[in-house]
Structure 1
């Protein structure tokens, strides 16, 4: 089995070498589209939630509207890779079918993706390991199971290389924040062995290289940076905070380790569909993707959305959200997440 899997992956990489290493384009740009909380289930028989009457009058709405929106975003943005940040599917009668259905927009456009699991993905007919296996069957999938013995499924990293392929310029981490648990929040958490793995892997890949973390359930610091119903308590908040932070069940120090490393510029999550903000806290941007799926809950009148990240070879990260047709495909909340120029200016101001 291992030999067959190795052969399959080797053939996939040889067939399309770009997937062997992510690279900046010749113009020095690299784009990531994040899709959060699709909640894909039974396809055309899974209805949409929290739709305005005028939206419902536009015609039948189902999971197929979700994949249609994904395709529209991909056509508009033409990303280099897609980040699927969990709850990609939800309990269905055939999770293998659901898992294969949500990736069709990327497969039709030859766009690679990497994914992680949320709290709902394994509520159907596949466990977490099975979901990862089905994901990885596509040559376009950059998803990995992660080290054996480590808590969860899908803890891994990818590097984005310079346009000539000679130098890693960004580290992208995917982590499994688990599902439900006997905890105050009712959710699992990123465990100490995962934090230790992240610290070791980040140091191995190089803490001089800017890094971005992706997982599903927010860490406690999201709530600290911007308490629900309160004022932004961080250095800067951009976006909408429409619901409380449903945080991980325990805080075992991932944020502090990432902050101490100095190279982690951004954390991207899903989970709370009605939040789409970024909050700058202790030098790190804590960002939501915003809900993408129509079968997932959302406030009535809240257009579905995706987050787009634009990277530059000098380390600059910019971001915005792209709304669906009910939001006129608007591009909103454009911001610079981090840049060496801004960091240098802040350091200079602090030293005065």
Structure 2
């Protein structure tokens, strides 16, 4: 694989300089606010053997719109095209965009960018939510939370908790399959406010043996253990750049362990796609989706598909591409592609 001609450093530099169609309705869920816990949204789906969760990440709509307006629009529409195809292949019950959905607050247009991006996801006809990335910027955070909470097909409920929220997925018979903790990692990584939300929710909901749902967590900036597990050789997959865990020092993981989280997935680093276990939790990179972000020459753009067995509440994942093909790392695959 070729080294990218548009690197993370160039991408960040350009960022500083730049400082609805008719579709088949794939989703069949009904969302409702929970009565007991602020920040929980319950998504009810029909009885089924498998729940399908599709992760988009790092879409970066409107990146460099002032500097390269024609190029930006072309890449933005190209991204929308592959999102449609990914949804057609995945047929998900829920979509989550794990940060950097739009790019910055250029000329105070962040709210406009957010509205446009939300409209595109809503047009896919699937219940959806997002986690905030370090580039998702607006002038009025409170107004942004309110809009996202009421957007078409949205199951976002982060207004009361700085963007932190939980999407609880239940089947129509009442069986709770999944609790997805959607956290705001801010500009520098997971901090105390996110861990406090995680702890309060986990303590509020206890289950008898055999009844506990699968607990997963999604956010934008990876934990330090993503780097540690790559360095010790236990990660499986592809490394295209160093892990930008920012100022997170590795201490956050214990909070996820205490909350009973089985898997964490993130974005932020566009050129890596691997997973590893740390203290019993699988740490997973999403596959970068947006052509407005860097990295397309290192890794093909796509999405991550999580398939959850509703009987056992176990999961498996695979990277999904717009043509319907998939990829999973080999048993011993541990490949540094950053210098290729």
The TM-score with structure 2 as length reference comes to 0.76
Label 1:25 to 1:168 Cα distance change in 2 as closer, same or farther (>3 A). Answer: same
In the alignment, which residue of structure 1 is the partner of 2:36? none
User: What's the offset of the Cα at 1:295?
Assistant: 0.6
Structure 1 position 298 matched with structure 2 position 295: yes
- Give the 3 Å change call, closer, same or farther, for CA 198–146 of structure 1 in structure 2: farther
Deviations 1:244-284 (A, max 9, x none): 000041337321121234x3110010000001111122211
Gaps of 5+ in 2: 1-27, 33-41, 332-340
Verify: 1:47 aligned to 2:45, yes or no. no
Aligned residue for 2:320?
A: 322
> Is this contact kept in 1: 2:86–2:302, CA < 8 A?
no
| Runs of 4+ with >6 A deviation | none
| Cα distance in 2 for residues equivalent to 1:283 and 1:32 | 21
Q: Quote how far apart the aligned CAs of 1:241 are.
A: 1.1
Q: Which secondary structure does the structure 2 equivalent of 1:30 belong to?
A: strand
Q: Map residues 140-289 of structure 1 onto 2, 5 A cutoff.
A: 140-147=153-160, 153-164=162-173, 166-179=174-187, 188-206=188-206, 208-227=212-231, 232=233, 234=234, 237-251=235-249, 253-261=251-259, 263-289=260-286
Deviations 1:121-147 (A, max 9, x none): 11xx53444433332331311112243
Shift of the 126–220 alpha-carbon distance from structure 1 to 2, 3 Å rule, reads same
Q: How many residues align?
A: 285
Measure how far apart 1:68 and its partner are: 1.1
Residue deviations 1:138-182 (CA, integer Å, cap 9, x gap): 13111122435xxxx211112111341x13222110111012xxx
1:25-81 Cα distance to aligned partner (Å, 9 max, x none): 433211110000000015993636xxxxxxxxxxx9321111111111111111111
Contact 1:70 1:105 (C-alpha < 8 Å) held by counterparts:
no
1:310 matches 2:307:
yes
Query: Contact (CA 8 Å) 2:225, 2:250: kept in 1 or not?
Result: no
Larger proportion of helix? 1
Pair 1:127–1:222, CA change in 2 (3 A): farther
Match of 2:114 among 67, 89, 99: 99
Unmatched segments (≥5 aa) in structure 1: 1-15, 49-59, 180-187, 337-352
Tell me how large the CA RMSD over aligned residues is. 2.6
Residue pair 1:67, 1:102 contacting (<8 A) in 2 also: no
C-alpha distance in 2, partners of 1:277/1:178?
23
1:123-134 residue pairs with structure 2 within 5 A? 125-134=138-147
C-alpha distance 243-334 of structure 1, shift in aligned 2 (>3 A) = closer
Q: Is the 8 A contact 1:28 1:163 kept in 2?
A: no
SS in 2 for 1:271: coil
